[in-house]
Homo-oligomer: A and B are copies of this chain.
Amino acid sequence: MVVMTRWLDPDEQRTWRAFLTASRALMDTLDRELQRDAGMPHAYYEILVRLSEAPGRRLRMSELAELTGSSRSRLSHAAARLEASGWIRREDCPTDRRGQVAVLTGEGFATLAGAAPGHVEGVRRHLFDALSPAQVDQLRRISETLADHLTDSGPN
């Protein structure tokens, strides 16, 4: 038999909408700041960050896609742009002839170093400054739970 939809009760509704509003506003704000101050969207900033943290400042496209939570296609397009900006370079992978390795250039690192302080300020100002330490802790647990839950039963 067809199961009746369990609609959201008023509290759930309110939570869901507040979450939507807040996360959208937060992301939009940080995106706009980053675009203004560093000329790149947040997604591209994240790519540079991940590369900067990797040994040799280099990562397989595949791993980079995994780490940044983006599709291979998205990363490919992004890499093309980042390469055109001179911030990364792509090399053939020595151990897998199908593979490519993205490498952060000096210029890319410098751009990142220039953008990071402002961005961190933004994250602090718009996120951490607004919350109590207890709330930060709650947010971490909630986020980790959700992330686990979503990657388990996954993209289906």
Contact = CB atoms under 8 A, between A and B. Distances in A.
Given A25-B146, A25-B150, A117-B5, A135 B138 contact: yes
B123 A146 contact: no
A80 interface: no
A63 B72 CA distance: 38
A7 B147 contact: no
A32 interface: yes
A139 interface: yes
Interface residues of A, number: 56
B126 A21 contact: no
Contacts of A78: none
A7 B120 CA distance: 7
B69 A5 contact: no
